[in-house]
Amino acid sequence: MATSQWRLIVSICLLAFVSFSAKVVSAETDKPPFYQVQWQGKTAYLLGSIHIGRADFYPLPAQIETALSKARGLVVEVDINKADSTALLQQYGRADKTKGLDWQSRDKQTVQIMSRYCAATANVCQSIQSFAPWLQATQVNLMRYNTLGYSTDYGVDMQLMARHAALPVYQLETAESQFQLLASFDSQEQWSMVREAISASDVDLLSLITAWRSGNETELDSIMQEQMGGEGDTQMLEKILWQRNHVMADGIITLMGSAEVAVPLFVVVGAGHVVGDKSVVQRLKQAGAKVSACWKEACE
């Protein structure tokens, strides 16, 4: 699995996610992907987000904060308050020897890479040994991001749910569906996730954040598309991005069409879902919605 595949997984899944030499911009000049959706006389705002962050992400740019002040409902990928994380981890997150997911089943390349890593971080490796490889990889990445000054506590969805706790919250997926997705990869793919989590450079790990804060949708799409396991291989994109884009777009339309759901809605999903020609944005347009890019067009 190429580095970009792992970045894709952590950028769009719930569990995934400075003081750093790369240049970053302040929240005042951030321009993350942001759209207005109009459908059958109703309005929603759509923000492409990342699930890790830091304090200087907030407050969000004025146009986004204004839209939030109008919102009568918050729509997220998953409402974590509805998730039984203990049960989900027990079912999907444990090392299963019968599936080649325990440490004794690691291939030689993985053992070699992990041995070097664990020599320096023995406590980390000890704490994750009982996890399935996909969860080991997630934990390693979170720890690396924490070292760089980023935390899931400052992830956009987490912050919005905390700051706007009075708003009703609607979810487009379930936590279980995301756990099932990650656990569905075979042992070879999962151990590859672990190797990439350890080996990816800091620059690679932070490139998504830089592209998100600058509003570089071309770069965001490139991160989603590049090096996906071989020329013409789109199975990973299909499984973890494009199929879910259908689900999310359908869910947004259903909520906007419901007489029981007050509008405008404020929708926040991973940035990878709103860029590219098979994105949620394109699916909404195909469903008959008018979608305006708010940094380029006037949004009400």
Question: Is 230 a member of any domain?
Answer: yes
Query: Given a cut of 50, is residue 229 above it in pLDDT?
Result: no
What is the rounded radius of gyration, in angstroms, for the C-alpha atoms of the chain? 19
pLDDT at 27: 67
Q: What span, in angstroms and rounded, lies between the C-alpha atoms of 186 and 124?
A: 23
* Cα gap 215→61, rounded to integer Å: 12
pLDDT tens digits, residue range 270-292? 998 999 899 999 999 999 999 99
Residue 52 lies in a domain: yes
- Selected residue with higher pLDDT from 5 and 185: 185
Average pLDDT, the chain: 87
Beta strands 290-293 and 73-76: pairing type? unpaired
- pLDDT at residue 226, as a whole number: 66
- Is this model's pTM higher than 0.85 or not? yes
- Give the model's pLDDT for residue 42: 97
- What is the per-residue pLDDT across 187-214, written as a single tens digit (0 to 9) for each? 998 999 899 899 988 988 888 899 999 9
Q: What percent of the chain has pLDDT over 90?
A: 70
> What is the DSSP annotation of the chain?
--HHHHHHHHHHSTT-----SS----GGG----EEEEEETTEEEEEEEE-S-B-GGG-SPPHHHHHHHHH-SEEEES--GGG--HHHHHHHHSB--GGGT-SGGG--HHHHHHHHHHHHH-HHHHHHHTTB-HHHHHHHHHHHHHHHTT-BGGG-HHHHHHHHTTTS-EEESS-HHHHHHHHHTS-HHHHHHHHHHHHHS-HHHHHHHHHHHHHT-HHHHHHHHHTT-SSTT--HHHIIIIIHHHHHHHHHHHHHHH-TTS-SSEEEEEEGGGSSSTTSHHHHHHHTT-EEEETTTS---
Instruction: Look at residue 297 and tell me whether its pLDDT is greater than 80.
Output: yes
Report yes or no on 25 lying in a domain: yes
29-59 tens-digit pLDDT: 899 999 999 999 999 999 999 889 999 999 9
Question: For a pLDDT cut of 70, what percent of the chain falls above it?
Answer: 88
The count of structural domains within the chain is 1
| pLDDT tier, 81 (very low <50, low <70, confident <90, very high otherwise) | confident
Q: How far apart are CA 296 and CA 298, in angstroms?
A: 7
Q: Does residue 110 fall inside a structural domain?
A: no
Judge whether 289 lies within some domain: yes
57 is a domain residue:
yes
108 domain-assigned: no
Domain around 31: 3-84+150-186+201-293
Question: Is residue 19 scored above 80 in pLDDT?
Answer: no
User: Which pLDDT tens digit goes with each residue over 133-163?
Assistant: 999 999 998 999 999 999 999 999 999 999 9
Residue 103 has pLDDT above 60, yes or no: yes
Is 138 part of any domain? no
**Cβ atoms of 245 and 185 closer than 8 Å:** no
